[in-house]
Structure 1
Amino acid sequence: MWVGFSASTGSSPLVEDHYILAWSFVTGNNKTLDLDTLHLPSFYVRGPKFYNSMEFIYIIVICSAAFILGLILGIFYWFKRTDYINFTEQWELECWPHRFAYQELNHSTKGLRDDNLLGYGGFGRVYRGTLPLGEEVAVKCITKDFTEGMEEFMAEISSLGRLQHRNLVPLRGWSRKNKRLFIVYDYMCNGSLERNLFSPKLSLTWAHRYKILTDVAAGLLYLHEQWDKCVVHRDIKSSNVLLDSDQNGRVGDFGLARLYDHSEKPQTTHVVGTLGYIAPELIHSGKATPSTDVFSFGALMLEVACGRKPVDAQGMILVEWVWDLYANKRLVDAVDQRLGGDYDKGEAEIVLVLGLVCSNPDPRERISMRNVLQILSGKAALPVDLNVPSAFKHSYIDIAEFNSFSATSLELLE
């Protein structure tokens, strides 16, 4: 016979402790020994060993997961902060002084959301923003990857920031995030000339249109001749002419502008611009000059007078159509029909003829912005008996040919 003790935890996975405090055993007729319970060791119930329980394992797993998640979020936040913060390089100290913090511009445009998108410009999008003091601005996000050439680009932007003329949109400042640049302009509450010109509701009278063209001519004259350097805008078009609170025309978006000394010859560069506004010689030579801006302004004048795009969806070139009307002595038929005849016929003739002169495919036949402004202001006579270019159509390339150019040789920005 074997005598002993046995214990079990049953179906529970928990660990238990079992204690024998006293015991007595007899066999046969022997007298049972009395147990002295007064001197037994103190008895207490010990709880289960928590570190061996499933609850403990669950807590460890949850805490570990929370720690890992917190670590990941911390790393992400650190990278996000470093993305916001750009260390100032030495060359930036020489730039036009007002640099906005990226956080400020990001907050002012609500994270560059599409709800605040004003439009598209050369190399990027333009967003509406509100600065902390309530001032409204337009923020152009230049999406071009500046892996090189940022210093030279910023040198030009800094110079352009010093331009001051009532018919130019003022530059407020700039910001940088890694290899992307942000240029801040004053916000023009009445939007672009393009939006007003082609809105379903006729919002621009002839008097407004003539005044806006005169304003733009004054702004371009300042850029070409009256500032310290010669500035070639390179992207004159209706969407880049903005209207302030008094409906004054202002030239904006200098993201593609080039400047050089008045005695310096322009250098060959990438061909940029918008179809219909690009001078023919620019495609062949790659040299942007004041004369190429004059061509763009001529296309703009015809667009404003006729209420038609320089190139429509069917590929019809506006300047060719107006030349045909001029040759057939029906120039007045080109005026925007939506005006219902409510316009000054003398001013209409001035705008249309100037548009043809400025849009001449031969740059030698064009006039300067100084002459244009003098004629618009009534201080000089309008050219008469224009010679219709015999090879006019051959000076233009069709849309299919234009779009077939390699992206490395031609950047078409619409």
Structure 2
Amino acid sequence: MLEGLYLGSNNLTGATPNEIGNLTMLTILDFAVNKLSGAIPMEIGNLALLTSLYFQSNKLTGGIPEKIGNLHRLETLVLGDNTLSGSIPTEISNISSLQVIELYQNNFSGTIPLTMNHKLNNLETLSLYQNYLTGVIPNSISNASNLVDLMLDDNELIGSIPNSLGSLRNLQLINLAFNRLSSESSSPELSFFTSLTTCRSLRYLEVHQNPLNGFLPASFSNYSSSLEDFGAFNCKIKGSIPLGISNLSSLLYLDFSNNELIGSIPRTINRLMNLQEFYLESNQIRDVLESFCGFQSLGYLALGQNQFFGSIPECFRNMTSLRQIFLDSNMLASTIPATLLSMKDLQVLNLSSNFFSGSLPREIGNLKAIYSLDLSINKLSDVIPTTIGELQALQTLSLAKNNLQGSIPKSISNMLNLEFLDISHNNLSGTIPKSLEALKHLKEFNVSFNRLSGEIPRGGPFRSFTGQLFMNNEALCGDPRLSVPPCQSNSITKSNKRKKLLLVMLLSGIAAILMVVTITIWILRWLKKPNISSGTELMSVAKYGRFSYYELLHSTNNYSESNLIGKGSIGSVYKGILSDGIAVAIKVFNLQVEGALKSFDRECEVLKSLRHRNLTKVLGSCSNPEFKALVLKYMPNGSLETWLYSHNYLLDLIQRVNIMIDVACALEYLHYGYNIPVVHCDLKPSNILLDEDMVAHVSDFGITKMFGEGESILHTETLATLGYIAPEYGLEGIVSTRIDVYSFGIVLMETFTRVKPTDEMFSRDLILKSWVEDSLPDAFQVIDANLIRQEDEHFTDKMKCVIFIMKLALNCCRESPGERMNMKDVLVELKKIKHQLLIIPTVKP
């Protein structure tokens, strides 16, 4: 008789036959890693001798048959990575022989069965992560006395983390991250941490992104020396780091980032000799850096956005395992030590937004492995050393907002992998080296607000740069599209003093004549103007050019249909070619439409105040009582909507991620980067424009809200687009930054499903959000068919990234504004997903 059926990894398709229940002598049934669909047949319950059941990584739907409770000898139940739904049947908890329950990455809902009791005292693994489980963690789970691995992360669990978990003495792994769990409310201390100190074999403990809202107890340092991984990112943890944390001698990974920790670093923390990654950014720690001296294994040190002060100690040069250092947004001062810049294996160094002064050491050329270097917003002076050109691996370099002088080193042209270079807001002089045209990967080159002169290079990457990157310099010249004067073809010889004197006299003599002629011409032209331009007020927006009615009329061929590139509710957008050959987009407002004038005024107000690479660049405006228009940078690749829904356009996976990162950057700037919060209020694919490099720019600020000092919530009339509106905005007119987060989540789903939220398939009972939510954890059936195919190489890795994107989108679209993520965290998560994509061999940037 057949006792074992092993059919795993065979590309099997179709439904599991009901006749499987006839194989009553089976002890092992393995259908793992196939493409089986349909439900698990209830006849499985007839296999009374079964000890192991493997159905993971298929496409199964429906629920778990209640008859599975008849399998009284079952030891291993693995149904993870399917699309199973419904509640977890309580009958499972009656199978006392069970040692492994793995139901991860499904669509299970409801509560964790509350009947778990002494009948599960053989259970060693309970893996329910990435489902939609609600309710609390039942205290009775602690009766599974042999439990080793407990994985409940990425669900919707609430309530407190039970102290009774401490009775599970064999626990080695606990992951409760990404839920809504808290601590016992009776004490400000996070008491469950104390209870877990009795788990002497505990190696892995993660509670990321739960609103714990309490203090770390002193007993935290009493954990077993076996603890290797502790993660508590964004948990509202208060107080200071426990002094005895150095007792956790086996720690490899420690994450306290994005909390409310204060005080100083325990002086003995460097006894954590095995620590490899330490995340402490976005707290309120105030201390010097000497406490970190002595770490021998540390590879990743993130201390940004705290209050560290003093200098960088020389001892950092001895921490030879360091690969990434983030010390940005602190109060560090003194000079940048040459020894720090001699760490040949360092890959990332971020010292931005501090008070470093002095010159940049020549030893910077020793950073042979570095690919990201940010020294912006400091007080560095003197010249940029030529040795910087030796950084062959560098991709991103920012020296902006310092006091650097001298010329741009020609050696920068040797940095062939460079993608982003920002040396704006310094005192650099001389010319831009023509040799920089060789940097074929360069996407942005910002030298604005310096004292540069001479011709701007025209070849290589400079063909696609905009005038904003060169503005406010001394005497740059070149292509008129960069808003600089053309260069003179012949040099002007020096005049002797006598010629200069004659020239001054001549100019003085004709100055009066010119003034009279100019005034006369102006009066005559004014008298001849038709009514449409009488009283024209030329508005200069954000220091850009002025435009007359006739200039715009001529540039659009009298606003011909062939120049029309878009039409909206309050006006039309035309492509125009100015007299200097520059292509622009001209947004003409239909003043017959109610609200159009207000929309024009609002866009002028917003766009002249804001400046970001991912916002629409305004070049000027034209305004008179009968005509209102904005002149914007022309986006040759149209809108995201065009790329999603036109058959002759196709965006690949990494392009879509890059576009949404650009949009997230724009929203983060609007919400946090300006001196008051700004809410866009109408984010949708048609308002996301793509330039020649497929960089996204958020546009259309006609209903944008700018908060007053101290305001965080406004009430207003709802004018946004249906399908993208947050519930509180649509129903009550409540405006906060979280309504943009909601719209971003909808756009994120639409970008990867290629289905509009207003699609006819949706109704009152089914909307885009619920459609996507119901598809998880598989999600393959809702993803744009052009994006990923099952036969693709690395299909599973790509799908994992897309599933993370869908879950991120759903976290942006929670009904309650307070439960939605903020754009800072959204941007961080998207960048992590992009990083995961880029390490897949077949995915190229």
Describe the SS at the equivalent of 2:716: coil
1:272 to 697, 719, 734: 719
Change (3 A) 1:118 1:372: same
* Higher mean C-alpha displacement, 298-307 vs 286-295: 286-295
| 2:664–2:826 contact (8 Å) kept in structure 1 | yes
Deviations 1:280-317 (A, max 9, x none): 11122213321111111111000011111112034452
1:210 paired residue number: 657
1:301 paired residue number: 748
Change (3 A) 1:94 1:152: farther
1:33 paired residue number: none
Deviations 1:136-166 (A, max 9, x none): 1111112244999958963662342242211
Describe the SS at the equivalent of 1:107: helix
**What is the distance in 1 between the residues matched to 2:602 and 2:788?**
48
Relative to the length of structure 1, the TM-score reads 0.66
Is 1:84 the equivalent of 2:533?
yes
2:803 paired residue number: 349
Deviations 1:167-199 (A, max 9, x none): 112111111242442111100111111101112
1:211 partner amino acid: N
**What is the distance in 2 between the residues matched to 1:359 and 1:372?**
12
2:821 paired residue number: 367
Is 1:320 the equivalent of 2:806?
no
User: C-alpha displacement at 1:357, in angstroms?
Assistant: 1.2
User: C-alpha displacement at 1:379, in angstroms?
Assistant: 9.0
2:804 partner amino acid: I
1:167 partner amino acid: N
Alignment of 1:143-222 (within 5 A): 143-145=590-592, 154=601, 157-222=604-669
User: C-alpha displacement at 1:265, in angstroms?
Assistant: 4.0
1:123 paired residue number: 570
Alignment of 1:194-273 (within 5 A): 194-261=641-708, 263-273=710-720
RMSD (Å), alpha carbons = 3.1
2:474 paired residue number: none
Change (3 A) 1:238 1:139: same
User: C-alpha displacement at 1:331, in angstroms?
Assistant: 2.5
Describe the SS at the equivalent of 2:615: coil
| 2:556–2:577 contact (8 Å) kept in structure 1 | yes
Change (3 A) 1:334 1:152: closer
Change (3 A) 1:86 1:151: farther
2:728 paired residue number: 281
| 1:145–1:180 contact (8 Å) kept in structure 2 | no
**What is the distance in 2 between the residues matched to 1:86 and 1:266?**
39
* Higher mean C-alpha displacement, 358-367 vs 293-302: 358-367
**What is the distance in 2 between the residues matched to 1:190 and 1:290?**
28
* Higher mean C-alpha displacement, 206-215 vs 103-112: 103-112
Deviations 1:319-365 (A, max 9, x none): 12112223xx3323321112242572232112111111112222122
Describe the SS at the equivalent of 1:219: helix
**What is the distance in 2 between the residues matched to 1:96 and 1:284?**
39
Change (3 A) 1:101 1:380: closer
2:7 paired residue number: none
| 1:102–1:175 contact (8 Å) kept in structure 2 | yes
**What is the distance in 2 between the residues matched to 1:380 and 1:313?**
32
**What is the distance in 2 between the residues matched to 1:148 and 1:196?**
30
Relative to the length of structure 2, the TM-score reads 0.33
Describe the SS at the equivalent of 2:575: strand
**What is the distance in 1 between the residues matched to 2:736 and 2:652?**
32
Change (3 A) 1:174 1:94: closer
| 1:174–1:183 contact (8 Å) kept in structure 2 | yes
| 2:541–2:608 contact (8 Å) kept in structure 1 | no
Change (3 A) 1:288 1:125: farther
**What is the distance in 1 between the residues matched to 2:608 and 2:819?**
33
Identity %: 35
2:787 paired residue number: 339
Change (3 A) 1:349 1:228: same
Describe the SS at the equivalent of 1:194: helix
2:302 paired residue number: none
**What is the distance in 2 between the residues matched to 1:263 and 1:379?**
34
Deviations 1:193-218 (A, max 9, x none): 11011121352101100111111101
Higher relative contact order (CA 8 A, sep 6+): 1
Describe the SS at the equivalent of 2:710: coil
2:832 paired residue number: 378
1:264 partner amino acid: E
Change (3 A) 1:230 1:180: farther
User: C-alpha displacement at 1:261, in angstroms?
Assistant: 3.4
**What is the distance in 1 between the residues matched to 2:542 and 2:802?**
44
Is 1:137 the equivalent of 2:587?
no
| 1:86–1:176 contact (8 Å) kept in structure 2 | no
| 1:375–1:381 contact (8 Å) kept in structure 2 | no
Describe the SS at the equivalent of 2:702: coil
| 2:662–2:697 contact (8 Å) kept in structure 1 | yes
Change (3 A) 1:372 1:148: closer
* Higher mean C-alpha displacement, 172-181 vs 100-109: 172-181
| 1:146–1:180 contact (8 Å) kept in structure 2 | no
Is 1:311 the equivalent of 2:750?
no
Deviations 1:99-151 (A, max 9, x none): 42111112111222221111123522111111111111111112244999958
Describe the SS at the equivalent of 1:173: strand
**What is the distance in 2 between the residues matched to 1:200 and 1:94?**
37
**What is the distance in 1 between the residues matched to 2:733 and 2:621?**
28
Describe the SS at the equivalent of 2:530: helix
More helix by share: 1
| 1:371–1:380 contact (8 Å) kept in structure 2 | no
Q: Rg bigger for which structure? A: 1
Describe the SS at the equivalent of 2:587: strand
Structure 2 regions of 5+ residues with no counterpart?
A: 1-526, 837-845
1:364 partner amino acid: G
Change (3 A) 1:294 1:251: same
Change (3 A) 1:222 1:175: same
Change (3 A) 1:232 1:154: same
**What is the distance in 2 between the residues matched to 1:155 and 1:236?**
16
**What is the distance in 2 between the residues matched to 1:107 and 1:228?**
39
| 2:577–2:583 contact (8 Å) kept in structure 1 | yes
